[in-house]
A and B are shown apart, each in its own frame.
Chain A
């Protein structure tokens, strides 16, 4: 009998807490601890998460393979599956298969500057890339992390990112559209306004990675193109309905490609020459 790639493996929730209202952090590890170190993935890949009798859906991995053993997700309560996921507590079991997708072309990004630009929930997959780059700091040149949310209480991983500001080997810039708390000490304005803090960047030696709400892409990409970063070095990760993750079920097809196998990471050039990507 051939291997059944649809069979998910049981994972134990070891930690969970709310990142913001309706977005929860889940840290899981294989129930069989020997399997913990066998799960290899790349930043930008995703997993199919299953709940008994509910359904199965794709979720971006938020942890970095440079910190093996635990998988992390940032999950928004938005549908039937996530509603049930939010009812689970530590020690309860979920099922996962994967990883799937192309992920970020990490090796190609070595020796380059990195500009990581996240909006809202886009911080979930980009955190994987950010942590990977920080854990392998010598492999990259300058690292910029630009993150915008609508309000302070809508910013994911806020404490973690504030701590990053203390590091001198990266520029971590956080902004909110509006501060309704009166206690916000970081920038105010949309994420594109953070571009003025990018200094002396050789665009040819720079990769940019973007993830955020659809409205954000056009403005951010305009900025990146203005900086003269080559189109094929502007990366973005996309969302589609998926049922299999393996280029079979057809739900994520866009024109001639499968988002689940050929993506979810695409370059700006892909977006320009293949239709309907964004």
Chain B
């Protein structure tokens, strides 16, 4: 993979120039919360943002969108309009790992038209990060990426090392080749090696998923799930913020007042009570404990069976956002009988 250098003072100018390709989005702090936003003022870009509250999935499967309009002559008409090219800046390695999982889920076996359409219009500029006390990507080997981005920025103090990850990424870079430096010296190399060593050692949290599929299986009937279920509020926040949660619902709306009718697809969560309810009123997961158990079974067992890796990338969003502190670290600790900090 070819790499270039970009002086830090050129970052904003460079990003602004990418508007020639499409909308430029990146993390911006709103009140106390980081969100991916379309950037109009590049000085608002929060380069220290670790986990924008809604992850990258919001660009690929919008939280709510119309899939079809019903026309008067009785046809389903594609409601998805051309999507403007979007360049998402500031995406950390763990989120790109989540993206790679979603790519498999949505591109293989019954390719999902809506995902593919959004995906094709989205360019990813990765950005290196220094973990905080909620990150645990290193223990899942998702703290570093070698694919899944178009350009990748590594912050090496006085400059960025910029990796070219795709042909389209190469176009982005060549657009302002004048800002980049092509020569990588042995000093740069040493600098990078030092940085990697230092940065990879900043992780404070560790998640050991060894034997997790077996542990999920063996713990299945244990009382502990009821205790967790008692604590859970069934609010679905974990599903909204988790970068690999993409369950959805589809609902039809009748057109009112000459508007066309529409079919809408929107994020759903298996934590919500009616998720498994069928016509006639039978609910396959009426109990909260069963829903929490399914959520974690799907992350820590089902995905390993299906894709060879868990659906947790160590981003820390469940740790940061669950109102009652149920998260992947706590759950694995409880199941393994390890001590829980109060």
Binding site for B on A (CB under 8 A): 1-8, 10, 50-57, 78-79, 81-82, 93, 95, 239-241, 243-244, 246-251, 253-257, 261, 275-276
Q: Are B252 and A56 in contact (CB-based, < 8 A)? A: yes
Q: Are A249 and B278 in contact (CB-based, < 8 A)? A: no
Can you add 17 more A-B contacts, CB < 8 Å, to A2-B111, A50-B76, A247-B110?
A5-B113, A10-B74, A53-B261, A79-B279, A81-B279, A82-B279, A240-B278, A241-B276, A246-B110, A246-B112, A248-B106, A249-B249, A250-B247, A251-B276, A253-B302, A256-B302, A261-B110
A115 to B261 Cα, complex, angstroms: 46
Taking CB atoms, residues of chain A closer than 8 Å to B284 are: 240-241, 254, 276
Q: Cβ of B248 < 8 Å from any Cβ of A?
A: yes
Q: Which of A50, A55, A246 contacts B251 (CB 8 A)?
A: A55
Q: Which of A1, A8, A79, A251 contacts B117 (CB 8 A)?
A: A1
| Residue in A closest to B297 when the chains form the complex, CB atoms | A255
Interface set, chain B 186-232, CB cutoff 8 A to A = 220
Q: Cβ of B144 < 8 Å from any Cβ of A?
A: no
Q: Which of B76, B248, B251, B277 contacts A250 (CB 8 A)?
A: B248
**What are 24 A-B contacts defined by CB distance under 8 Å?**
A2-B116, A2-B117, A4-B78, A5-B110, A8-B76, A52-B70, A53-B70, A53-B253, A53-B261, A55-B252, A56-B250, A78-B279, A79-B279, A82-B279, A241-B284, A244-B250, A246-B109, A246-B110, A248-B105, A251-B247, A251-B270, A253-B270, A257-B302, A261-B110
Interface set, chain B 86-138, CB cutoff 8 A to A = 105-106, 109-114, 116-117
Taking CB atoms, residues of chain B closer than 8 Å to A52 are: 70, 74, 252, 261
Q: Are B113 and A79 in contact (CB-based, < 8 A)? A: no
A249 to B306 Cα, complex, angstroms: 16
| Residue in A closest to B275 when the chains form the complex, CB atoms | A251
A147 to B19 Cα, complex, angstroms: 67
A81 to B250 Cα, complex, angstroms: 13
A2 to B253 Cα, complex, angstroms: 26
Taking CB atoms, residues of chain A closer than 8 Å to B305 are: 256
A50 to B75 Cα, complex, angstroms: 12
Q: Are A78 and B275 in contact (CB-based, < 8 A)? A: no
A81 to B279 Cα, complex, angstroms: 9
| Residue in B closest to A3 when the chains form the complex, CB atoms | B113
Q: Cβ of B68 < 8 Å from any Cβ of A?
A: yes
Q: Are A248 and B251 in contact (CB-based, < 8 A)? A: no
Q: Which 10 A/B pairs are nearest by Cβ-Cβ distance?
A: A250-B247, A246-B110, A79-B279, A256-B302, A53-B254, A4-B113, A53-B261, A78-B279, A52-B70, A256-B305
Taking CB atoms, residues of chain A closer than 8 Å to B220 are: 275
A276 to B126 Cα, complex, angstroms: 41
Taking CB atoms, residues of chain A closer than 8 Å to B75 are: 10
- Please, what's the 1-or-0 string for B297-324, where 1 marks a CB less than 8 Å from any CB in chain A? 1100110011000000000000000000
A1 to B80 Cα, complex, angstroms: 12
Q: Are A6 and B67 in contact (CB-based, < 8 A)? A: yes
A251 to B75 Cα, complex, angstroms: 27
A248 to B290 Cα, complex, angstroms: 20
Taking CB atoms, residues of chain B closer than 8 Å to A95 are: 76
A230 to B75 Cα, complex, angstroms: 48
A79 to B246 Cα, complex, angstroms: 26
Taking CB atoms, residues of chain B closer than 8 Å to A7 are: 68, 76, 78
| Residue in B closest to A56 when the chains form the complex, CB atoms | B250
Taking CB atoms, residues of chain A closer than 8 Å to B252 are: 51-56
Taking CB atoms, residues of chain A closer than 8 Å to B68 are: 6-7
A250 to B302 Cα, complex, angstroms: 12
Q: Cβ of B255 < 8 Å from any Cβ of A?
A: yes
Q: Cβ of B337 < 8 Å from any Cβ of A?
A: no
Taking CB atoms, residues of chain B closer than 8 Å to A241 are: 275-278, 284
Which residue, B279, B294, B297, has most C-beta atoms of chain A within 10 A? B279
| Residue in A closest to B284 when the chains form the complex, CB atoms | A240
Which residue, A55, A78, A244, has most C-beta atoms of chain B within 10 A? A244
| Residue in A closest to B74 when the chains form the complex, CB atoms | A93
| Residue in A closest to B112 when the chains form the complex, CB atoms | A248
Taking CB atoms, residues of chain B closer than 8 Å to A50 are: 76
Taking CB atoms, residues of chain A closer than 8 Å to B253 are: 53
